[in-house]
Amino acid sequence: MAFYLVHELKGLKTQKDGRMRIRANTPLPLAATEDLVQKLQKITGISKVQANARVGSLLIFYDSAKSRNQALKVLQANEKLPAMKKLIGRDTTPQAAMGGFFSLFRYIVIRPFLPACLRMISAAISAIPFLVKGISQLLHGKLRVEVLDASAIAASLYLRDFRTVSMLTLLLGLGDTLAEWTRRHSLESLTESLTLHVQTVWRKVNGTEVSTPLARIKKGDLIVVRSGSSIPVDGIVTEGVGVINQSSMTGEPIGVKREEGGAVFAGTVVEEGEIVIKVTKVGDETRFRQVAAFIEESEALKAGIQGKSERMADLAVPFTFALAGLVFLVTRNFMRAASVLLVDYSCALKLATPLAVLAAMREGTHLGMVIKGGRYLEALNDADTIVFDKTGTLTNASPVVAEVIACAKHKREDVLRTMACLEEHFPHPVARAVVKKAQDENLVHEEEHAQVEYIVAHGVASSLRGKRLLVGSRHYIECDEHVDVSPLASAIAEQSAMGRSLLFMAEDGKLAGLLAIEDPLRAEAISVIQKLREEGFQRIIMLTGDDERTAKAIAQRAGITEFRAQVLPSDKADVVRELTQSGCKVLMVGDGINDAPALSSALVGVAMIDGTDLAREVANVLLTRPDLNGLIAARRLARSTMRRIHTNFAATLILNSIFLAGGLFNLLPAGTSAVLHNLTTLGISLNAMRPHLRHFAFKPSGANQN
């Protein structure tokens, strides 16, 4: 095992108050992780250590260069730790997870039966960890919430109010346990949402195919992929010819030809043929490392409002101490001064917002989305402009037959029947669309033709009742087979102007007819566009590479009034930047490799689960169901979360101000004020964790919009 320094933040001139992210090259065993964290926390100057054994990650907060170097030495000494045998499993520490709840059990069930002297001893012992934590922060020159908690406990001990001491330590412990439980379980949900099942592939070794787990594939290995199978790696074709469906990468439903020397990508599908691929990407690009990166990003990217709450919480500490000192100077009453320390704004401010953010992220996984950081919840709430890529996002990237057009002396039904008869032998999407169209019209086609000859990436040829039949692209029919297509020139121009792909049929060297193929809108697209307007989006824009006429027709069907036509893939990011510079807060929705720059340029980028790997990685929000209704859920979740944060903030200020005033004017005993304050903090924290959209559900998609 080896540890690597993957990220570090520190002061501009010194190494004080820094933090560093350390990652192991394998998952860590749970017991050894706990031991390692304890060793690091014993180092003077190490203020905090966060560990995630599942992804082999340690986040270490240090106060000086000396403590930083000592921490690195401890890690170097522990590089011989055994690897974790089981990757999937709950990362639980019984002592940490149950500590707060055991304290509650002890306080309610055990404490009442203890003698008075033992209750005092128990209260003093339970106070020690909080006192040590506060003193440690103070010795390092930091006046934070921990110092205020320690001062409140110390004041209660001085007043010999052991009941208040017990209650304070109980509630503080419960708060910490609640926060840790929520954080851990939220991150577990994120991990499970992002983890993909390991696939088995056929590896070619000395001319023999060997079934091999994908995890064992190395750069340079040869992988065999046949018709109908997904390509599990990025690589270069070394043998064979195939038609590759790259709709998950480019959004285009029509397959492309790949032969020796051609590049192929993970997530695409071999529609026809058989190819041997030389693997080009391994190592840190494995699925596990992608999951680890997503989880670390989710923890690191705090919402702006979360950062503000934490800063306000720390700023409130000096104010609380100053007010307590002022009260003591005026009244000379230590009890009244202590009541100020026992009631502060910091705890709820610092705890409630991150809990609300993590709870929302966790709820998002159950609603069909992965939100990769708190700041993107805030961005989802703030966005006022939404930009859609057309192909694969607003549309299905699954072709259907829109029109059947026959030449003179040929019947429409005969053209469709014959083309379906020939195409049913092939598995590619266009062939399936033709066969389905014939089935929908109840056209029965008997197997009367001779053997079908398939020309990869061009078309098919056969014979029927003594006549030679050709089915394929315009290039194949017109250029390769020299068939005149002018009899349908007007229909060709009209269908092409609508952005449809054309499939031609010729009989004995003469054009018989054509099929117009289109990519229909997603079934839910129209209703989602309408709901997005209701959710407060002022502008909804569609980007497409189609010409003006085609773009306008598609936009009208979707209910979109603003679109940009003939947009090159490289220009999408420029459109997003232009909108941003004009004052728009842009939410970009895309699914292809060419959408990645635009997704990263927007205030928040959203990708579909059936999109390319790159788009899913670059996007800030991933919809884990192939349904645009996830956008509605994401918007509502973000808005509900922000409303709850603001509500909790107001409740914190109002309630704690009341308790503080009660203590100052001797209306509330100090112990009662402390109990009410801490119960308020717990209540606000529980409110932050409540589900937001318990009644939200995706509606079944209706029929496709043509």
The residues annotated with a catalytic role in the active site are 389
Beta-carbon-side half-sphere exposure of residue 9 (alpha carbons within 13 Å):
6
Rounded Cα gap, residues 347 and 72, in angstroms = 32
Rounded Cα gap, residues 597 and 506, in angstroms = 43
Backbone angles phi, psi at 620, to 5 degrees: -85, -25
Residue type, 681: T
Rounded Cα gap, residues 1 and 367, in angstroms = 38
Measure the CA dihedral 347/348/351/354, to 10°.
-150
Q: Please give the full DSSP string across 630-670, using - where no structure is assigned.
A: HHHHHHHHHHHHHHHHHHHHHHHHHHHHHHHHHHHTTSS-H
Residue type, 538: Q
- Residue ranges with strand state E in 25-85: 46-52, 57-62
Instruction: Note whether 236 and 261 are within 8 A (CB).
Output: yes
- Alpha helix locations (H) across 141-250? 145-158, 162-194, 247-250
Q: Is 453 left (phi over 0), alpha (psi -120 to 50) or beta?
A: beta
Instruction: Note whether 27 and 286 are within 8 A (CB).
Output: no
Instruction: Note whether 485 and 478 are within 8 A (CB).
Output: yes
Which among 315, 294, 369 is positioned nearest to 641, based on CA atoms? 369
Rounded Cα gap, residues 151 and 318, in angstroms = 12
Rounded Cα gap, residues 379 and 606, in angstroms = 11
With 0-12 / 13-18 / 19 or more C-beta atoms within 10 angstroms meaning exposed / middle / buried, residue 285 is middle
Helix axes 145-158, 346-366, angle to 10 degrees: 130
Task: Extract the tokens encoding 51.
Answer: 């560990």
Rounded Cα gap, residues 505 and 434, in angstroms = 12
Taking the alpha carbons at both ends of the chain, their separation in whole angstroms is 57
Instruction: Note whether 242 and 227 are within 8 A (CB).
Output: yes
Instruction: Note whether 243 and 270 are within 8 A (CB).
Output: yes
Regarding beta strands 453-455 and 263-264, do their DSSP bridges make them parallel or antiparallel, or are they unpaired?
Answer: unpaired
